[in-house]
Homo-oligomer: A and B are copies of this chain.
Amino acid sequence: MPKYRDELDAVLRALADPTRRAVVERLAKSPAVVSELAAPFSMALPSLMQHLRVLENAGLITSQKHGRVRTMSLRPGALDVLHLWLGEQRTPAAHQADRLGIHMTCTTPKET
């Protein structure tokens, strides 16, 4: 039952690329067709398509084809798995801080 972990892994891998993140950000505003998505990038179409496939396989986006046009949309709730994981990683200190309504900041120690 490591479905959650696999899903998380796919999502994080997908989001680790700036191009794919940009696509997600674009789609967060509204759905768009492939060529619209490709326009902002100085990248050949097939390259971008590959990114879209990765995003789709990760379950982050969905697509529907009408005629020769494919419309991609962000899947609402697709990022929930990340949200969830993130919640689990809060340190005890952070939890404490949360309860107290303190925002924690960190100083960068000199490297060793």
A88 to chain B, nearest CB (A): 7
How many positions in chain A have a CB within 8 Å of any CB in the partner chain? Answer: 40
Within the complex, the shortest CB–CB distance from A59 to chain B, in Å, comes to: 8
A55 located at the interface, meaning its Cβ lies under 8 Å from any Cβ of chain B in the complex: no
The copy count of this chain in the complex is 2
SS class of chain A's interface: helix, strand, loop or mixed? Answer: mixed
In the bound assembly, the distance between CA atoms of A108 and B63 in angstroms comes to 11
**Distance in angstroms between the alpha carbons of A86 and B65 in the assembled complex:** 28
Residue in A18, A28, A91 whose Cβ sees the most chain B Cβ within 10 Å: A91
**Does A9 touch B at the CB level, under 8 Å?**
yes
Cα distance, A65 to B109, chains bound together (Å): 12
Interface string of A9-45 (1 = CB under 8 A from B): 1001101101001001100100000000000000000
